[in-house]
Structures are given as structure tokens and as C-alpha cells.
A and B are shown apart, each in its own frame.
Chain A
Amino acid sequence: MSVLTPGFADPVLDAQAIFRAVLEAMSRPGRIQRAGAGLQPPAPMMPSAAAVLLTLADSGTTLWQDAGEDAAAWLRFHCGAPFADAPGEAAFVLATGAPPSVAALNAGTEEEPERGATLIVQVAALEEGAGWRLTGPGIEREHRLAVTGLPPDFVAAWARNRARFPRGVDVILCAGERLAALPRTVAIAEG
């Protein structure tokens, strides 16, 4: 078995800083935050995705991931989150490859929509100022976000996710040491 790379250098303050980045991302959809500098999670996990899970997942949350054995061992050791058998049963879903369909994930109930899953998707690149036109809560007029590496039907699936509000799935897009978020309220128009 290979030696595990470390988690946060300062578990308390690093988690706080990453949480604020994710909170900012979720509050202002499409604005890019930096997260995960210095982390070296096993491939194919990216530093930003690893940082999000270190910050939010633990023994009280279920996790599904497609990142392979090394990543599973790393997550088991650093987060302690129990692995779910299927994406639809998990509170956090990490997709390093082709992400599972948003419709297949837990969307919560009408009374308890907060039980909807958080999908963490690794993508090739994130850039502000071009691409999608995002509108909705958290956005003054319009945010632009260019995402490279999502499946072509993502925007159509997202529209269906948004239509079932308050049920729904929230997404955190990760690219290297950058992340942006799509809360279930955000409307995406292709640029």
C-alpha cells in the first residue's frame, strides 16, 4: 500500500478558509474561488475537490466517488465518511470522470429539500467573463462562467433540476485549485 499524502496542514484554520471559499462560491454562483493550494491528493482527485471534501464530509455524511482505490483510501483516512453503494444514496458525490446524471441523485423531499445531494464535479477548466450566462439569487445582474469538460447535455439536465425547486441537487465545479458553485436556484443560459 502506498503512503498516504497528508490532508490539511492546519485542520482547523484550513477548513475554515476553504469553507468560506465554498460559501462565497455558493452565495455568488459563477464567481471563481481558489481552494486546495498545497494539497496533493491521489490522482485523479484535484486539490480543490479534495479540499471541499476535507472541509465538509465526515462520519456523519455518506459519500460516493469514482476516483479509484487510492483516492478511496485517502478519503477514508482523512474524512472518515462512509461510502454509499450508489450515487443516489450519497450526500456528497465526487465525479472525477463522466458525472452521474443530476436526476439520478438524491434531490431531497418537498418538506426537507436540504437533503438534496451536493455533486462535486471535476472539470478541465473554469473561466469567468465568458461562456454561460448565470442569473438567480446571489447574482446582481448576470455572471458569466465558461466551463470546459462537462457532458453536452448538462445544461438541459440542469434546467430540469432547477424546475423541481425546492427539491434539487447543488453542484460544485472544481478545476485544479479553482472552484465555482451552482446552487439549485441558478439559471444557466448558454452563451
Chain B
Amino acid sequence: MSPVMEGYNFAYLDEATKRMLRRAILKAVAIPGHQIPFGAREMPLPYGWGTGGIQVTAAILGPSDTLKVIDQGADDTTNAVSIRRFFTRVAGVATTERTSEATIIQTRHRIPEQALREDQVIVYQVPQPEPLSRLEPRRAETKRLHSLADYGLMHVRLYEDIARYGHIAKAYDYPVMVNGRYLMAPSPIPAFDNPKMDRMPALQLFGAGREKRIYAVPPYTEVKSLDFEDHPFRPIRAPHACALCGSRESYLDEVITDDRGGRLFVCSDTDYCSGRVALREAAE
């Protein structure tokens, strides 16, 4: 482990900033799915590259935590490496690539395949926390719509998809209702991951740095993907088996292998995949 950086507070943020974040996080837990504005700080990583998730993680992280950071499901993608290295430098915490060993998992665009437990917290990096932003760019107006629980705009949008394509064509960042009250952006995870959010034993925290908002889903809270009775929500994955571990349940990345149409599919969750490969090799 590289030495902890001198001259900066534990986990980089000063204590006043952490208190501000912690107050916002507690209110977020108390009002599931509601976006809480917070005074996001400039971080030494760019806006849009996980500053919201980083600030949330920095506010909750302690020396006894074990941190896992994934991007696209993988621990070794460059931005995941960069964020993990940041926390190693500023907090000196233990890190892991194993989902089961982590107490805090910071993620961009995926939920691990392995079910999370009560003693874990998952922190999502969120580019656009407002589920209605594509339909109504004005924040003053979307705040009003949330206060009235007026989500007609979104229902119309989804219904237009059905009229046009025969099904809801939203493949990621698929909007959810939290505890029957707030419409929430699950961050750009594939719709495939949405069901994992429902009644998850782990606490789910969401940080949007550029848009300066925090929200949360407490453990065991209902998270329902929007749908219609005659067009129920259905998660999509590529209809293949992982070329490495053979899984037919996991979410797959498509890899182009040549310029003649050759392709194969592998698990996006690298820890899940390597765990299965190791099990199989041990059995052989």
C-alpha cells in the first residue's frame, strides 16, 4: 500500500465538509429516493468522474472499512483504479476486489452479481440524479413535480415507447419508484440490475457531485421499476453464456474479436466471473 498523503485530512475532506455531507446522508435515508441538495466541493478528480460517489464514500469511510471500487462491473478499469488509489492515498484504507470482503462498494454503472449483505454499503456514482431531466430540464419545475408526486410525464414517455416499439425502450438508468413515493434515477446501471435494488439488505447511497445532490435507499425498501400492467418490466441481457465462466445469469459485455463479425460475451462483473472460474478449476 502506498503511504498516506501528508498535509490532507483523513479521507481528504475537512471535517466541516464531512459533517455537511453526513447530515445530508442521514436526511436522504430518512426520505427514501428524495434528492437532497448539498454543497458539493471541487475534488481533485473531475466532475462527472465520480466526485459525488467519492464525497459520499469519504464521508462514511473509516479505518476499519474495506473498500471495493468498480466501474462497469470491473475493478481494473482505469477510473476504478484511479478512485481506489485516491482512497488508498488519502485514507490508507484496505481495499479489495472481492465483493464478499468489502464493507463499502463504490460503483459506476453496475451492481455486483453477488447479493449484498446487511453489513455492506453500496455507493453509486450518479451523473444525472434527476429522473425527469430529459423531459423537463428545469430544476425548479422538477422539484415541484416531485413534491406533488406528479410523474405523468414519465408515464407518457414510457407509453410512447410502447406505442412506437411495442415495449419500453429504456435500457439503462431505468426509472424506479422508491417506497411508493419518489421517482428515482438508479444511475446508469443496466435495467438488468434494477431488481437487485428492491429490498436489498445493504444500504444504498447515491452521490451526484456536479449536480450536487445525494439520495438513498434504506435496506429492505421497495424499489419498483416503472411499468404497465400489460407491459411489465423485463430486464434485458445478451442471450448468451459467458465465454470465461459459462454463466447464463450474469450481465455480459460484448467483446469484438476481429473485423469479420467475430465476437464473444464475458461477464461484466470481473470478481463474479473469476470466482466462478476458480471454483471450476478447483473442481477439476
**Direct touching of A and B (C-beta under 8 Å):** yes
Q: Contact check, A19 vs B22: say whether CB atoms are below 8 A apart.
A: yes
Q: A26-B30, A114-B27 are in contact. Are A16 and B220 (CB under 8 A)?
A: no
A153 at the interface (CB under 8 A from B): no
Find chain B residues with CB under 8 A from A60 CB.
16, 19-20
Q: Contact check, A16 vs B31: say whether CB atoms are below 8 A apart.
A: no
Q: A19-B22, A26-B30, A184-B31 are in contact. Are A111 and B143 (CB under 8 A)?
A: yes
B246 at the interface (CB under 8 A from A): no
Q: Contact check, A22 vs B16: say whether CB atoms are below 8 A apart.
A: no
Find chain A residues with CB under 8 A from B219 CB.
27-28, 137-138, 140
Q: Contact check, B179 vs A137: say whether CB atoms are below 8 A apart.
A: yes
Contact with A along B217-231 (1 / 0, CB 8 A): 111110000000000
Interface residues in B130-150 by Cβ distance below 8 A to A read: 143-144, 146-148
Find chain A residues with CB under 8 A from B22 CB.
19, 23, 55-56
Q: A27-B219, A114-B36, A166-B34 are in contact. Are A56 and B23 (CB under 8 A)?
A: yes
A162 to B7, CA, bound (A): 46
Q: Contact check, A27 vs B29: say whether CB atoms are below 8 A apart.
A: yes
**Interface size range of chain B in the complex:** 35 or more
Q: Contact check, B220 vs A23: say whether CB atoms are below 8 A apart.
A: no
Q: Contact check, A183 vs B30: say whether CB atoms are below 8 A apart.
A: yes
CB of B60 to closest CB in A, whole Å: 7
Q: Contact check, B220 vs A26: say whether CB atoms are below 8 A apart.
A: no
Q: Contact check, B10 vs A183: say whether CB atoms are below 8 A apart.
A: no
CB of A179 to closest CB in B, whole Å: 13
Q: Contact check, B181 vs A166: say whether CB atoms are below 8 A apart.
A: yes
Q: Contact check, A13 vs B32: say whether CB atoms are below 8 A apart.
A: no
A81 to B268, CA, bound (A): 47
Q: Contact check, A114 vs B29: say whether CB atoms are below 8 A apart.
A: no
A106 at the interface (CB under 8 A from B): no
Find chain B residues with CB under 8 A from A128 CB.
none
Find chain B residues with CB under 8 A from A96 CB.
none
Find chain B residues with CB under 8 A from A11 CB.
15
Find chain B residues with CB under 8 A from A13 CB.
10, 62-63
A48 at the interface (CB under 8 A from B): no
Contact of A27 among B61, B62, B218 (CB under 8 A): B218
Contact of A15 among B18, B26, B29, B144 (CB under 8 A): B18
A61 at the interface (CB under 8 A from B): yes
CB of B102 to closest CB in A, whole Å: 15
A116 at the interface (CB under 8 A from B): yes
Find chain A residues with CB under 8 A from B182 CB.
166
A110 at the interface (CB under 8 A from B): yes
B201 at the interface (CB under 8 A from A): yes
Q: A184-B31, A185-B179 are in contact. Are A137 and B15 (CB under 8 A)?
A: no
B25 at the interface (CB under 8 A from A): yes
B122 at the interface (CB under 8 A from A): no
Contact of B15 among A12, A23, A165 (CB under 8 A): A12
CB of B84 to closest CB in A, whole Å: 19
Q: With A12-B9, A140-B220, A185-B179 given, name 15 new contacts (CB 8 A).
A: A13-B63, A19-B60, A27-B219, A55-B19, A55-B22, A91-B23, A112-B143, A113-B31, A114-B28, A116-B30, A137-B179, A137-B219, A137-B221, A165-B31, A185-B30
Residues on B facing A (Cβ under 8 Å): 9-10, 15-16, 18-20, 22-32, 34, 36, 59-63, 118, 143-144, 146-148, 179, 181-182, 199, 201, 203, 217-221
The 10 closest A-B pairs by CB, nearest first: A183-B30, A110-B147, A138-B218, A137-B221, A114-B27, A137-B218, A111-B147, A16-B62, A170-B30, A140-B220
